[in-house]
Amino acid sequence: MDLLSSLNEAQQQAVLHFEGPALVVAGAGSGKTRTVVHRIAYLLRERRVYPGEILAVTFTNKAAGEMKERLEKMVGGLAGDLWVSTFHSAALRILRVYGEWVGLKPGFVVYDDDDQGTLLKEILKDLNLEARPGQFRAVLDRIKNRLGGVGEFLREAPDFVAGVPKEQAAEVFHLYQKALRGQGAVDFNDLLLLAIELFEEHPEILAKVRQRARFIHVDEYQDTNPVQYKLTRLLAGEKPNLVVVGDPDQSIYGFRNADINNILSFTKDYPGAKVFRLEANYRSTAAILEVANAVIEKNTARLEKTLRPVKGGGEKVRLFRAPNAREEAAFVAREIARRGSFGQIAVLYRTNAQSRLLEEHLRRAGIPARLVGAVGFYERREVKDLLAYARVAVNPLDTLSLRRIVNTPPRGIGASTVGKLLEYAQKQGISALEAFRHAQQVISRPQQVEAFVRLVDDLIEAAYDTGPREFLKRVLEETGYLETLRAEPDGEERIANVEELLRAAGDWEEEVGGTLADFLDTIALTASAEEPAKRVQDGKLEDPEAGGDEVTLMTLHNAKGLEFPVVFLVGVEENLLPHRNSLSRLEDLEEERRLFYVGITRAQETLYLSYAEEREVYGKREYTRESRFLADVPPELLEEVSAFGSAGAAVVIRPAKVEEKKPLGAFKGGEKVRHPRFGQGTVVAALGAEVTVHFPSVGLKKLAVQFAGLERID
DNA sequence: GAATCCGCAGTTTTT
DNA sequence: CTGCGGATTC
């Protein structure tokens, strides 16, 4: 297959880039992944680069999987040796090999946000600090995500953070780190920080890894944080063959310390970097793109870029003003019912809390829907309980997990017993499990604890030679956990979740394979958005692949990178989009605007915007008004619809003819044409009455369709 | 030690 | 409104 012929001029240029740094500014729907995949194939085929020298970093495991799949299709078996991974997975993989060089214990586990929160809460409680754990986690993340560490934090933070003096916050941070390491655990941020530490202290290891990453691609570069930036720099080295791909207009993870400046100043950070701009948009109609462009133009933190439609014309954007959130949801359900073909439709919102009403109305209307990434599957209590058994078996030092399972299901080992045993552990300087072994010296009725220790020892033994599925089944058998669940109010659903976990474990064994410890690693690095989606119809978890014709519900953040023929973007109102917590700072407001932009650019054909003038927040009624961002939508591209009308179909209040404001003529991107003077060429983009054509003879030309006298060649 | 009840805080987004 | 933690009761 020809690597270039199916690409437009800008994409080709990017693909042909060989050595040195390059920035690919890839607008929404501009064929970004395609370009990266083709470039890798080009390196392999035309430049004779070994697959074992190429690293591609993506933002999610899902994206990594998709890229790998596409590469396999293009280059076949060679793809097996490529390194395609997220930052975190890559770091973990390195630390599994070299972790001991930076003080990690062999079986260390990765704590997720939940565990991080639990640990933090305990420390705060021990110190009698009245701080909000939620806020405190943000502080912790900040310290860990911005390189400067505690020193910088103490220098630059205000005197009080999360309700406590910053010196005390720093103390909590130290205790937290100590507790983590003490039980052989690392958190998400540690993965990257320790990788950096490893590289800086052991240049020989860095040199080795660099061999494996002579050509580096970083996708979604606009979402990298300072730590990831540093890691990239280290890997790229003195002579960086580094291609970063991204779109500052889609930078929406600032709250997680992603720094949009990483992409904005790439050409300064990497002198001599080439810049390629992918602006031809293959996804959306001209109308939708014009709206998107008009909205994002208002931002200041940008790289100049305008999306150019390949598709023509299109319907106007529809706006529905609902008297309240209930009516808004009802409108969405009615419109969807009217349209049919649910699989093409997505409903996007700013906050997860908004999904509830929508779910309810869709269910009532009998519309099948799937909820992406809401209540994390791996965050459910019953799932975490079972996995805690696995974690203890793999890493007996994991006290957090040990405490979780010690009385789950209830086996007569209550809080006071555990308290005594932990105190003993502390005093003796031994691990919690060791203290459990000495139960008869500590408590008066040690039988239950002794039985529990036997169970744990059995499981530790089993963990050596048992796959995840069988291991989990064994836990169920030996603990009688299922029976306990059955007695609970929503036991049936919980049991279904347990079954789903077993199924997931079985699938993993088939598709990936490995030890129980590997399985835990996979789970730790899987984001909720990548999990099996939740079916709204029956409330149970099912295989997302199994379904087909379902409406997709998700947050704007989760929608990045996806596209749908029909998109409903709901809650376009003040305090929600932009969110109330983002109103005071300009940077935050701009990020909210980018979120709006991301939402708009998900739509291929039809875009609905809606908001509610009244909405219940925490059961309290609140009044709101339309989002300030709506003012930036060109009025002539907006069409207001009403809920009233026969059969409940949306009725256009101000019917305006859907004029083809920018007729595209007959040309489409990729088509071959002949020009009277320039000869044969390929259409790169068609924007309104103007087409951009690449001619081998003279390069890129912008031509007016009307006058150019272009002829299509078949 | 376990079960039940009450009060209050929390929801912005997540690798 | 929900879910969690703490207090109260069995």
Residue-wise pLDDT tens digits, A369-414: 888 876 667 878 888 889 999 999 999 999 999 999 998 888 888 8
Query: How confident is residue A145, by pLDDT bands cut at 50, 70 and 90?
Result: confident
Q: Report the SS3 class of residue A320.
A: strand
Task: Give the C-alpha separation, A152 to A536, whole Å.
Answer: 46
Q: State whether the beta carbon of A618 lies below 7 angstroms from any atom of strand C.
A: yes
Q: State whether the beta carbon of A121 lies below 7 angstroms from any atom of strand C.
A: yes
pLDDT of A169 reads 85
Q: Report the SS3 class of residue A164.
A: strand
Is A493 labeled as catalytic in the residue annotation?
A: no
Q: Report the relative pairing of strands A690-695 and A699-704 from DSSP bridges.
A: antiparallel
Residue-wise pLDDT tens digits, A238-269: 889 999 999 999 999 998 899 999 999 999 99
Residue A546 scores a pLDDT above 70: no
> A33 labelled as ligand-binding?
yes
To the nearest whole number, what is the mean pLDDT of chain A? 86
Which nucleotide shows the minimum CA-to-C1' distance to residue A117? C4
Please confirm whether the linkage preceding A578 is cis (ω < 30° from 0).
Answer: yes
Do the domains A109-183 and A290-373+543-640 sit in the same CATH topology, yes or no?
Answer: no
pLDDT of A284 reads 95
Closest by alpha carbon to A690, among A677, A708, A674? Answer: A708
Q: How far is the CA of A526 from the C1' of B15 (A)?
A: 8
pLDDT of A699 reads 53
Beta bridge partners of A258: none
Question: Strands across the sheet with A672-675, in order?
Answer: A699-704, A690-695, A679-687, A672-675, A711-712
Mean pLDDT of A319-330: 93
Mean pLDDT of A70-95: 93
Sequence spans of domains, chain A = 9-99+193-278, 109-183, 290-373+543-640, 377-529, 671-712
Task: Give the C-alpha separation, A580 to A353, whole Å.
Answer: 14
Residue-wise pLDDT tens digits, A449-505: 999 999 999 999 999 999 999 999 999 999 888 888 887 777 777 888 888 889 989
Q: Give me the architecture of the A9-99+193-278 domain, per CATH.
A: 3-Layer(aba) Sandwich (3.40)
Which residue would you say has higher pLDDT here, A542 or A206?
Answer: A206
pLDDT of A158 reads 83
Residue A689 scores a pLDDT above 70: no
Residue A622 burial class via C-beta count within 10 angstroms: exposed 0-12, middle 13-18, buried 19 and up: middle
Residue A445 scores a pLDDT above 90: no
Cβ partners under 8 Å of residue A665, min gap 6: A686, A689, A691, A705, A706
Catalytic site residue from A115, A187, A190, A220? A220
Q: How far is the CA of A421 from the C1' of C9 (A)?
A: 26
CATH match for A377-529 among 3.40.50.2000, 1.10.486.10, 1.20.140.10, 1.10.1240.10: 1.10.486.10
E strand spans, A527-623:
534-535, 551-555, 564-569, 603-612, 614-617, 620-623
Task: Give the C-alpha separation, A387 to A520, whole Å.
Answer: 8
Which nucleotide shows the minimum CA-to-C1' distance to residue A619? C1
pLDDT of A511 reads 86
Beta bridge partners of A55: A83, A216
Q: State whether the beta carbon of A61 lies below 7 angstroms from any atom of strand B.
A: yes
Joined tokens for residue A35: 């370009």
Is A32 labeled as catalytic in the residue annotation?
A: yes
CATH 1.10.10.160, domain A109-183, yes or no: yes
Q: How far is the CA of A129 from the C1' of C1 (A)?
A: 28
Q: How far is the CA of A255 from the C1' of B14 (A)?
A: 9
Residue A331 scores a pLDDT above 90: yes
Mean pLDDT of A538-561: 70
pLDDT of A263 reads 94
Catalytic site residue from A9, A13, A32, A469? A32
Which residues in 435-454 of chain A line strand C, with CB less than 7 A from it?
none
Is A250 labeled as catalytic in the residue annotation?
A: yes
pLDDT of A219 reads 95
Write the CA distances from A17 to A57, A276, A392, integer angstroms: 18, 10, 49
Q: Give me the architecture of the A290-373+543-640 domain, per CATH.
A: 3-Layer(aba) Sandwich (3.40)
Query: How confident is residue A149, by pLDDT bands cut at 50, 70 and 90?
Result: confident
Is A33 labeled as catalytic in the residue annotation?
A: yes
pLDDT of A664 reads 34
Joined tokens for residue A317: 């954007």
Residue A714 scores a pLDDT above 80: no
